[in-house]
Amino acid sequence: MTADIDSERPNSERPDTGATGGFEVFRDDRGIPHLRAGSALGLARAQGRNAALDRAWQLET
């Protein structure tokens, strides 16, 4: 069983570049994220943003 949770998200996202050198998040046909960044800090920021987007439904209110 699969859930189509990424149907409302674009395939690629490009946040503004800043002190981290910017990053890119691309999701393939199966929704698997692929992260690219200009620095280790940018990659950490991309991973954190991706985890927050994927797990926002787990937050308790």
Domain boundaries, the chain: 25-61
pLDDT at res. 20: 53
For 44, the 3-state DSSP assignment is helix
pLDDT at 5 over 50: no
pLDDT at res. 58: 85
pLDDT at res. 49: 93
Place of tokens 């189509």: 4
State whether the Cα torsion 2-10-15-39 is positive or negative: positive
Closest C-alpha among 7, 50, 13 to residue 29: 7
pLDDT at res. 6: 45
Backbone angles phi, psi at 35, to 5 degrees: -110, 140
For 21-30, the pLDDT digits (tens) are 689 999 999 9
pLDDT higher for 13 or 4? 13
For 2, the 3-state DSSP assignment is coil
For 9-18, the pLDDT digits (tens) are 555 555 545 5
